[in-house]
Amino acid sequence: MKELKEYRCDFLNCNQENYLRVIREFIIHELVPMKGRLVKVTCLVDTKPFENYSKTTEEIRALFRLLFNERMPALTFVAQAPLNAAVGIETICFNDPGVLAFETWEDIQYVKVDAPNAELLYIGGIVDPRLPDAKSQAMFAFEKMDALLKKEGFEWNQVVRQWNYIEAITEMEDGRQRYQIFNDVRAKYYETSQWERGYPAATGIGMEKGGIVIDAIAVKSWSNNGPLDYPLANPLQVDAHQYSQQVLEGSTDQDFGNRQTPKFERAKALKTGRWSEIFVSGTAAIVGENTVPSDQPGEQTNVTIKNIRALISPENMNASGVAVNENGKIKQLRVYVKHPQDFDIIRTEVDKAFPDAKQSYVLADVCREELLVEIEAMADFT
């Protein structure tokens, strides 16, 4: 029996000379059979084997358009090097009964799913890397997302999962950290909604090139049987949106006043009549609001794992209003590794903790200079 939602992560070894052939064969043999059910594709690309990253991603996008035609999934490209291949391809396939509509608006691919009790929106990557700085890049991405949500009758507070990829995430522009600039812009758009059900689960992570890319999943409930999404706080951590000014970096911007906190929940649980899942936000070795005082990748990984386990424990989920009997079961992980030499140490700890989960490992800077690893996850619960 097929799962109602299938998650895959595949890795392709290719280079400048053969990548189009290798990726084309993979799409034909592995992804085209899911045409009409494939709703989201994330391509994780190592920029080093390719002479022109922008040209490479456009050629891969053209392959998807050619092979999927009018049933193009939401597609995102991220300049993060997989630690065991040149290209990683993560996919979400929707097998729940429902009507899928595949749409393109202003070069943004997205998919609408009219499922029992809910409408879902899978939005592909929004980006304009030609813009000169973090503020204009973030404003462009959020303005486009805002317009698309309104076009489809959604509000910001119906976004349940958002990914935020930020080139040179911890670097400074005129005394202001690029991640902090992103957070200031995000807060400006989020303030247009009421967030009774909590902010989205989210990841804010570095990448090698491409400016700022955001993509998202939004959910609108048709059910009158109570809430569909539940914010999960972590008993071991301060909510990121409640951080003090002491842990935020860089100077303030007169357009935003005080530096804005990162507006996301530690996780978001989603529950419908037919399926349930937990979106675990990017999680790192932070206790309270402070990074653990360790420069050891193994120790940071274990603190991160402890944070994830606390988050999806029955005690924490029941306290958050989600009735469960057992721990959430991790089914997919993406692990962000700052230094390639730490890969084996980090993978060993993750394998011990989550041996049955599908795993992707990519090189990426984390939002604090001292952090060596960050982990995000998808989990089931009953």
Instruction: Please give, one letter per residue, the 3-state secondary structure of the chain.
Output: CCCCEEEEEEEECCCCCCHHHHHHHHHHHHHHHHCCCEEEEEEEECCCCCCCHHHHHHHHHHHHHHHHHHHCCEEEEECCCECCCCEEEEEEEECCCCEEEEEEECCEEEEEEEECCEEEEEEEEECCCCCCCHHHHHHHHHHHHHHHHHHCCCCHHHEEEEEEEEECCCCEECCEEHHHHHHHHHHHHHCCCCCCCCCCEEEEEEECCCCEEEEEEEEEECCCCCCCEEEECCCCECCHHHCCHHHCCCCCECCCECCCCCCCECEEEEECCCCEEEEEEEECCEEECEECCCCCHHHHHHHHHHHHHHHCCHHHHHHCCCCCCCCCEEEEEEEEECCHHHHHHHHHHHHHHCCCCEEEEEECCCCCCCCCEEEEEEEECC
What is the reported pLDDT for 256?
74
Tens digit of pLDDT at every position of the chain (382 positions)? 456 678 999 999 999 999 999 999 999 999 999 999 999 999 999 999 998 999 999 999 999 999 999 999 999 999 999 998 999 999 999 887 678 999 999 999 999 998 877 889 999 999 998 999 999 999 999 999 999 999 999 999 999 999 999 999 999 998 999 999 999 999 999 999 999 999 999 999 999 999 999 999 999 876 666 568 899 999 999 999 999 999 998 877 777 778 999 999 999 999 876 778 999 999 999 999 999 998 999 999 999 999 999 999 999 999 999 988 787 899 999 999 999 999 999 999 999 999 999 999 999 999 999 999 999 999 998 7
Residue 105 counted as domain residue: yes
User: How are beta strands 159-167 and 201-207 bridged, if at all?
Assistant: parallel
Residue 257 counted as domain residue: yes
- Looking up residue 179, the CATH number of its domain turns out to be 3.30.1330.40
Say how many domains are in the chain: 1
What is the reported pLDDT for 224?
64
Residue 377 counted as domain residue: no
Query: Rounded CA gap, 105 and 19, in Å?
Result: 28
Residue 317 counted as domain residue: no
What is the reported pLDDT for 257?
74
Q: Is 254 exposed, middle or buried (0-12, 13-18, 19+ CB in 10 A)?
A: exposed
Q: pLDDT per residue over 136-169, tens digit each?
A: 999 999 999 999 999 999 999 999 999 999 999 9
Residue 337 counted as domain residue: no
What is the reported pLDDT for 328?
82
What is the reported pLDDT for 1?
40
From residue 247, alpha-carbon distances to 16, 159, 238 in Å are 42, 26, 12
Instruction: Say which residues have a Cβ less than 8 Å from residue 28's Cβ, sequence separation at least 6.
Output: 67
Query: Rounded CA gap, 122 and 229, in Å?
Result: 16
From residue 278, alpha-carbon distances to 180, 205, 286 in Å are 27, 20, 20
Rounded to the nearest 5°, which phi and psi values hold at 144? -65, -45
Task: Please tell me the pTM assigned to this model.
Answer: 0.96
Residue 232 counted as domain residue: yes
Report residue 17 CA to chain centroid gap. Answer: 30
Q: Where in the sequence is the domain holding 256, given as residue range(s)?
A: 5-272
From residue 330, alpha-carbon distances to 359, 364, 378 in Å are 10, 22, 6
Residue 212 counted as domain residue: yes
Residue 92 counted as domain residue: yes
